[in-house]
Amino acid sequence: MRIVFSGLLLAGAILAVRPADARPRDDAMVGAYRCSVIAESQSWLDCYYGAAQPVRAALGLPPALAAQVKLAASPPAGGARHDEAIRDDAMAEAAGCGRAAGDRAWLDCYYSAVLPMRSRLGLSQPQGRSAPPVPRMSIAASRPAPAGPPPLPPSTGLLNGLFNTVRPVVRKVAMRSFDLDRKGAFTVVLADGQVWKQSDEDEVYHPAHWRQAGPDVLVTISPDAMHTFTMTVEGEQRFYKVHRIH
């Protein structure tokens, strides 16, 4: 708790004397300290991710989820804080990211700081996991499936999409079918046999309008920070957080 109180004082000092050319990472840390008033840990984590938006914008990365940015802009106060020790440790580590050389390295350090909280909440970890069985698709395939899926793209480490040039792992490949689970999260099958599932932390649901677009709507999937991937669909401006399962 002492770390957070000190952080709030520091955030106030930054706001009071911030120069006109304040770095995006300073804005991000001010936002992250403001998140401390949130009681529930999942909401706190979403707020923390939303606070990173100034740095993501400066780096030209896809924006944080709209709900996360909204939380960071106006975090709701009230109630006893959950997982206080994990939060304090995360903020102490994030504060130490100021030694990073450049905003790209800083952002990766900032995201790494909350890996213990992701583990506490049972969320997927960026280091990877074994692939679950391929689910049954609800829409019939429009063409025969290939003999086997191509190999998974090679990992370039935690800094993929930060220091290296970001190249899509899927570029304008047709969506052969998709399925929605009970909360509206999707699983898509591509024409080349790859299967991608919407990530648990994504909050953009209900893409049922894809049904009107036909089976050949084009999909592009690109790497983002911390072993994550974002998917875009032809004709849409939004980004979806996804991970490959086959």
pLDDT value of residue 21: 44
Examine the pLDDT at 149 and tell me if it is beyond 80.
no
More confident residue, 205 or 63: 63
pLDDT value of residue 154: 42
pLDDT value of residue 166: 53
Pair of tokens at residue 122: 């049972």
Say whether pTM exceeds 0.85: no
Closest Cα partner for 142 from 72, 42, 217?
217
Q: What are phi and psi of 187, to 5 degrees?
A: -130, 130
pLDDT tens string 24-81: 999 999 999 999 999 999 999 999 999 999 999 998 888 888 888 999 999 999 888 8
